[in-house]
Amino acid sequence: MTDQTIAKPGEPAVVTGPVLGIETSCDETGVAVYDRARGLLAHRLYSQIRLHADYGGVVPELASRDHVRKLLPLVRQTLADAGLRLDDLAGVAYTAGPGLAGALLVGAAAARALAWALERPAIGVHHMEGHLLAPMLEADPPEPPYVALLVSGGHSMLVEVTGIGRYRLLGDTLDDAAGEAFDKTAKLIGLPYPGGPALARLAETGMPGRFRFARPMTDRPGLDFSFSGLKTQVLLAWQASDGGETTRADLARGFEDAVVDTLAIKCRRALAATGARRLVIAGGVGANRRLRAQLAEAAEADGFRVHFPRPAFCTDNGAMIALAGALRLAAGQHADPAIAVRPRWELESLEAVGA
């Protein structure tokens, strides 16, 4: 199993030194080396966008096979970038879930094999915890307690963070997450894959206010998210329109405004409910320019601090996995030797690290 366990007598209590991080949860192969004393030493990322573009979405079997082809060359290149040899590694971290089972198994098998050959400890990292901790890679990392908005792929959630591994789910996705809604809406109005970034770029040219859509679930108490109805509103508006390029851009702007407003409203509610004065934004949608600008304005108006990872660390990457793994290995946690993954894995089930 990939559950974390505390080191027993006779085992290394902590791991210090460089930790290799491997991310293969979906359609991006990420590798990085992180050292708690020196920070991020190197990272590389390979995206499978071109591979899946012809299919309009991720094909799990193709994703797994491409991870097999790309992972070990990326490991060699990343170690060379860091000026390290395999023997210099103190531990290995890998994404154990959630994600696509076949893709996760590629990373888990490679990580466990490396750890066994090097006689180093290894640990399976929760993908969403990686995103949650990604802002710690920046020069001004957030200190708990804080509220985190995680908007990555099929996940849109608000989490109260009081320490590493100390997470309380405040709000979750009931149907389509924000990232899914971006991708599906883009496809509905005829944008190419990957749709989310294409829609965001198009929205920059659209006229604000021409199309105004509902801000889902903001007219009632609670912090859960639901974006499937918004997607349907855009489809109906598109079908009733002239289908022109100007209309497409204006629809994209109206949709993006609705998503950004909804996320911002829920973030402010979560801060008010918890009393936290720090907000962390993580995950792919966290790279959205309009979301960043609106939350920065809200932070200035309400007097809280907002932390964003750099855009490269919003999408899936090995750096966040190396960081999360290094923190847990340093606390004496490690993974069972079996090669196993957890495609479904609750964030709140993680063990806390330290006080």
In whole angstroms, give the CA distance from residue 17 to residue 35.
Answer: 5
Per-residue model confidence (pLDDT) at position 5: 42
pLDDT of residue 3: 41
* Amino acid type, 247: T
- DSSP string spanning 203-230? HTTSPTTSS----TT-SSSS--B--HHH
Which residue type sits at 192? P
Asked whether 33 and 79 are in contact (CB, 8 A), the reply is: yes
Inter-helix orientation angle 178-188/195-203, to 10° = 80
- Look at residue 80 in the predicted model and tell me its pLDDT: 98
Min mean pLDDT across 12-26, 105-119, 254-268, 291-305 is at 12-26
Quick: pLDDT tens for 136-187.
Answer: 999 989 999 999 999 987 889 999 999 999 999 999 999 999 999 999 999 9
Q: Are 284 and 168 in contact, with CB atoms under 8 Å apart?
A: no
Task: Determine how β-strand 155-163 pairs with β-strand 19-23.
Answer: unpaired
Instruction: Please tell me the pTM assigned to this model.
Output: 0.93
Residues 182-204 have a mean pLDDT of 93
Give the C-alpha separation, 105 to 121, whole Å: 18
Q: How far, in Å, CA of 115 to CA of 108, rounded?
A: 10
Alpha carbon distance 292, 306 (integer Å): 9
Q: Please compute the mean of the pLDDT values over residues 13-21 and round it to a whole number.
A: 86
**Distance (Å, whole) CA 307 – CA 147:** 10
% of the chain with per-residue pLDDT over 90: 89
pLDDT value of residue 152? 84
191 near 203, Cβ under 8 Å?
no
Percent of the chain with pLDDT over 70: 96
Q: Which run of H or of E encompasses 118?
A: helix 101-118
Q: Which pLDDT score, from 0 to 100, does residue 355 have? A: 52
| Interval 341-354: pLDDT, tens | 999 999 999 999 97
Tokens coding 150: 């995680």
pLDDT at 1: 34
> What does pLDDT average to over the chain?
93
Structure letter (DSSP) for residue 351:
P
For residue 344, the model assigns a pLDDT of 94
**What is the band of 10 on the pLDDT scale with cuts at 50, 70, 90?**
very low
pLDDT per residue as tens digits for the range 126-137: 999 999 999 999
Joined together, the tokens standing for residue 326 give: 């290094």
Q: Residue 125 — pLDDT band, cuts 50, 70, 90? A: very high
Q: What angle do CA 302, 307, 310 make, to 5 degrees?
A: 145
d(CA 90, CA 103): 25
Distance CA 169, CA 186 (A): 29
Q: 3-state DSSP call for residue 239?
A: helix
Residue 307 confidence (pLDDT) above 50 = yes
Q: What pLDDT, on the 0 to 100 scale, is given for residue 15?
A: 81
| Distances 10 to 6, 219, 326, 332 between C-alpha atoms, Å | 12, 57, 20, 12
Cα–Cα distance, 6 to 118 (Å, whole number): 20
Q: Write down the pLDDT at residue 111.
A: 97
Number of Cβ atoms within 10 Å of the Cβ of 211: 21
Please give, one letter per residue, the 3-state secondary structure of 17-82: CCEEEEECCCCEEEEEEEECCCEEEEEEEEECHHHHHCCCCCCHHHHHHHHHHHHHHHHHHHHHHH
pLDDT above 80: residue 13:
no
Under the banding of pLDDT at 50, 70 and 90, the label for residue 2 is very low
Question: What pLDDT, on the 0 to 100 scale, is given for residue 334?
Answer: 87
CA distance 9 to 26: 37
